[in-house]
Structure 1
Amino acid sequence: MIMKKIEPRQIAKKWIKRLGLVILPLIIGGIWQNVMQEKESQLFPPPGNIFSVQSHDMHIYGTGTGKSTVVFIPGSGTPNAFTDFTYLQKELQPYARTVSYDRAGYGWSVQTSSPRTIDTITEELHELLEKADESGPYLLAAHSLGSLEALRFAQKYPDEVKGIVLLDGGSPEYYANESEVKAYALNRLMAGLRMTGIVRALGNVGILLPLSGENVRYDLLPDEVKEIDASMYYNHLGDDSNLSFIAHMNENAQAVMEGGYLHDVPLLILSSDGDQEWGEVQQQLLHWSTTSVQETIPASQHYLHWSHKEMVASKLVEILRKVEKEGHPKNDVR
């Protein structure tokens, strides 16, 4: 049997053709992503107000009235705080004033080159609340990595915090040792899928990546908010703005630890039903206040304010009534 010799040129052409079949769809997807991003920026104007804070513009959305103001702090990489907290803000309208806001580069807030250190982020939030004429003392409700921001805010502005609720937040001890490389790699993967239009294509056939909790929230959103949420997901997942936040995660956690435990700030720790390691992290948070309470919500997910939204709303109303009845404690920092 005579074997036919394959010329190197034929092999090269074959591989170029295969490569083209992979690259061409990605180029088309990238163009589609850019066109849709520009279109959606016009379709969905900010529902709240924009204020110039330090080096960039930030978006804040407020609703409801009451004795207290609840400030919702999003987790790391959450595409849009308005849609993520829309249920809780609506449910709490009869009980309190509530606000949500977007960090730099997310939602309707613009990017900044300012490093995402914990003090910078906390000072930006403080200035934003002042410019929006939102009055404290506040009840801070923080999701995930937002726990660092809530604790640091209470350290820096103790007289302006009447209580803290952590929504499956991690402890500073945990984030001080968590791998920044792992978080960075996940961010880059999500960014690649977004910029090439793959995330948008998957979403259009009903597949929302569970890594960011979008598959939990989206199905539970009211119809009028779903399009906004999808747009924010397609345009901000794995955004570069989160890289600096991730890169400073260990040192930010260390700064919070050096700031010292909170004295008697009411601290409610609502935890997802995770593994043993995550349970230990939740127990670490108990030491951060002399009036802390931790509760694990059975069969819940990391975005527990969606997987168990009614229960979380009820817990927030409970702590609101508690801190309003007992008055504003002397929030010293040890």
Structure 2
Amino acid sequence: MDLETGKKPASKMKKILFILLKVLAVIVIAIVLFVATVFVVNKISSKSEEGKIKPYGQSVKVDGKNMNVLIQGQGEETIVLLPGQGTATPALDFKPLIEELSPFYKIVVVEPFGYGLSDRTDKERTTDNIVSEVHEALQSLNIDRFILMGHSITGIYGLDYVNKYPNEVSAFVGIDTSVPAQGGMDKKLPLGAFKLLKQSGFGRLMTSFGEDPFAGMPYDDETKKQMKMLSNKNMFNNTSLNELENLYPNFVAARSLSFPKELPLIFFIQANNTGVKGWIPLHEEQIKDSVHGKVMTFEGGHYLHHTKSKEIAENFRAFMEQVKQDK
């Protein structure tokens, strides 16, 4: 017994323990309510946004599903634009570049399955399947001769495309495109965590309180709204997660390929990519045997077409004009 209070120590400890348990219970209930609120808000917001997303482009049947394609411009030559991995809204993302190129070319933006307004698919996201699907979409539109232009991962898929269908592609243009030999692609990605972020609604919460990815970008307010809604819709969907799962195998498979010697080839890349060692030399290696090959660097981020569309368009047109003169 405590001589000062006359109470047994055990009773005092029980009271403290009871208070701690109550506090812990309140904390747990608060966390559960917060998680439930985030989940419900995400579900309600997703349902609400479904009716606010404005359609663009046209759908073509590919492997029994709908693939969205945007066509703009009336030029005699056609440019097919392919997005970087994870670009939620390719046709809107490429808008600044489309505006620069469409006065001179017919522009065709293909939104692969899992991107933009295209359906999702359960088919494995191997390079072979992705390239075959893009080819099927273009064939259904009677597009069988074009300049292939793309961002980031198109460096891998495009390399496969020009080797599979050499008679269709008249030139390849890479916008900070991936290179098969670049390092770091064997890292394990937390795909389970990505899926949980999507399903729980915390992915939406994080983007809502994060920095605006389109701040200062050349998009009007309505386009930004559409891009944000489609980003929430397509974020970490099963098709894109499967593409991430196949990322490293796709890079490995591309290592046995090279661009055809006679194919005009130009790369627009970051001048200072600190994330990938030897970024410029890797691209210079890709053009070393090309009859018409060029590497140009720009100050800017990975999405160079957000900030350097005018320069890309002007230098691309000058490059193609020189190719024609040299023939």
Q: Which category describes the TM-score, using the shorter chain as reference length? A: 0.7 to 0.9
Partner of 1:306: 306
In structure 1, what is the equivalent of residue 185 of structure 2?
Answer: 178
1:164 and 2:172 are equivalent in the alignment:
yes
Residues 1:153 and 2:161 aligned together? yes
Distance, in Å, in 2 between the alignment partners of 1:259 and 1:275 is 24
Letter in 2 for 1:148: I
What count of residue pairs does the alignment treat as equivalent?
315
- Tell me if 1:288 matches 2:282: no
Report the equivalent of 2:35.
Answer: 26
Alpha-carbon contact 1:55-1:112 (below 8 Å) kept: no
Q: Separation in 1 of the partners of 2:320 and 2:51?
A: 37
Aligned mate of 1:141, from 145, 149, 169: 149
Q: Return closer, same or farther for 1:322/1:16 CA change in 2, 3 Å cut-off.
A: farther
What is the distance in 2 between the residues matched to 1:34 and 1:277?
36
Gaps of 5+ in 2: none
Report the secondary structure of 1:141's partner residue: strand
TM-score by length of 1: 0.84
Deviation, 1:220, is: 2.4
> 2:243 corresponds to which letter in structure 1?
F
| Contact 1:69 1:97 survives alignment (8 Å) | yes
Residue 307 to residue 22, structure 1, CA distance change in 2 (3 Å): farther
Q: Residues 137 and 32 from structure 1, CA distance in 2 versus in 1: closer, same or farther, beyond 3 angstroms? A: same
Deviation of the 1:150 alpha carbon: 1.0
Normalized per residue, which structure has more helix?
Answer: 1
1:326 & 1:265 partners in 2: Cα distance? 13
Task: Give the whole-Å Cα distance in 2 for the aligned partners of 1:196 and 1:309.
Answer: 37
Q: Is the 8 A contact 1:58 1:108 kept in 2?
A: yes
SS of the equivalent of 1:259 reads coil
Counterpart check, 1:42 vs 2:51? yes
Instruction: Report if aligned partners of 2:74, 2:106 keep a CA contact under 8 Å in 1.
Output: yes
Question: 1:120-150 deviations in whole A, cap 9, x for unaligned?
Answer: 10010000111123x2422111111221111
Q: Which amino acid aligns with 2:31?
A: V
Structure 2 equivalent of residue 239 of structure 1 = 237
Call closer, same or farther: CA 1:48–1:28 in 2, change over 3 Å. Answer: same
Q: What is the CA distance between 1:173 and its match in structure 2?
A: 1.1
Q: CA deviation at 1:158?
A: 0.6
The answer for the alignment partner of 1:254 in structure 2 is: 252
| Native 8 Å contact 1:63 1:93 kept in 2 | yes
Q: What letter is aligned with 2:174?
A: L
Percent identical among aligned pairs is: 21
The alignment status of 1:317 with 2:317, answered yes or no, reads yes
TM-score, normalised relative to structure 2: 0.85
Gap change, CA 1:120 and 1:16, over 3 Å in 2? same
Contact persistence 2:96–2:218 (CA under 8 A) = no
Q: Deviations over 1:9-61 (max 9, x none)?
A: 54444323213323322322222222222222222242111122115321111
CA gap of 1:5–1:82, structure 2 versus 1, over 3 A, is same
Offset of 1:238 from its aligned partner?
A: 2.7
Cα deviation, residue 111, structure 1: 1.2
Deviation at 1:74, TM superposition (A): 0.8
Aligned to 1:224: 222
Residues 74, 142 of structure 1: 8 Å contact kept: yes
The question of whether the paired residues in 2 share the 8 Å contact of 1:170 and 1:281 is answered with: no
Deviations 1:160-196 (A, max 9, x none): 1111111111211126x61241xx22x6555544444
Structure number with greater Rg is 2
